[in-house]
Amino acid sequence: MRILVVEDEIQIQNSIKLFFKANNFKIDTSRFFDEALSLALINDYDCIILDLMLPDGNGIDIIRELKSKNENVGIIVVSAKNALDDKINALSLGADDYLTKPFNLSELNARVFSIIRRRKFFGNNITNINEISIDHASKKVTIKNTELELTKTEYDLLLYLVVNKNKVITKHAIAENLIGEEAEYLQSYDFVYTHMKNLRKKMLDAGSNDHIKTMYSVGYKFEIE
Ligand code: CA
């Protein structure tokens, strides 16, 4: 997945960049309005993390421009000021979410993932991937006509695996997507292991192929065509 980070404060830009790179995202960055707008128009991003106050313009106008050109990209605004006007403006122009600085990177990650998940599955009530069928409206998962009885966490975990299919995902990234910023305080990733084990067993019991691969000491990979 590819993200554009538009932020003129280099330290913040760097920390966002490093964080998402560590989570397997491809990251482009820009400090400037014009450059950011060109990048956003030329490339296909899954999400744009957008600061509003840029040296040569207001991020709000980037949202306006992109939407006027029917660019269908996820946008999360990060702004230093918690100005209600900005927030309402950004959201009414079509931004997906708004986060006030200073924010926690895990929180940003959770919001970005939620935007990407919503957009990836947008318009499709049912996602069919090999023998797995996911009904997003009812949150039901069916494998070869067997409906799985998944907990909410297992369901979220499966969606995360599907969105990140064929990529190595770290236990930490998974933990963050399941519990948000609390993941920073975890003593171990045992609960990730437990949910993964349970999900895998339920899928196998229903006749699924074994898609969940353990990547020794790193994390997991959801292997699927
Ligand atoms: Ca700024």
**Pairing relation of β-strands 212-215 and 168-170?**
unpaired
Phi and psi angles of residue 206, each rounded to the nearest 5 degrees, phi first: -85, 0
Q: How far is the CA of 142 from the centre of ligand 1 (A)?
A: 46
Indicate whether this model's pTM tops 0.85: no
Q: How far is the CA of 140 from the centre of ligand 1 (A)?
A: 42
Q: Is 149 helix (H, G, I), strand (E, B) or coil?
A: coil
Q: How many CB atoms lie within 10 A of CB 139?
A: 12
Residues at Cβ < 5 Å from ligand 1 ion = 8, 51, 53
Q: How far is the CA of 62 from the centre of ligand 1 (A)?
A: 14
Q: How far is the CA of 186 from the centre of ligand 1 (A)?
A: 32
One-letter amino acid of 113: F
Phi and psi angles of residue 167, each rounded to the nearest 5 degrees, phi first: -125, 150
* pLDDT tens, residue by residue, 180-218: 667 778 889 999 999 999 999 999 999 999 999 999 888
Beta bridge partners, 120, equal: none
Q: How far is the CA of 203 from the centre of ligand 1 (A)?
A: 46
The interaxial angle of helices 59-68 and 33-42, nearest 10 deg, is 30
* pLDDT tens, residue by residue, 88-127: 889 999 999 999 988 989 889 889 988 887 777 765 678 8
Side-chain-side CA neighbours of residue 80 (13 Å): 8
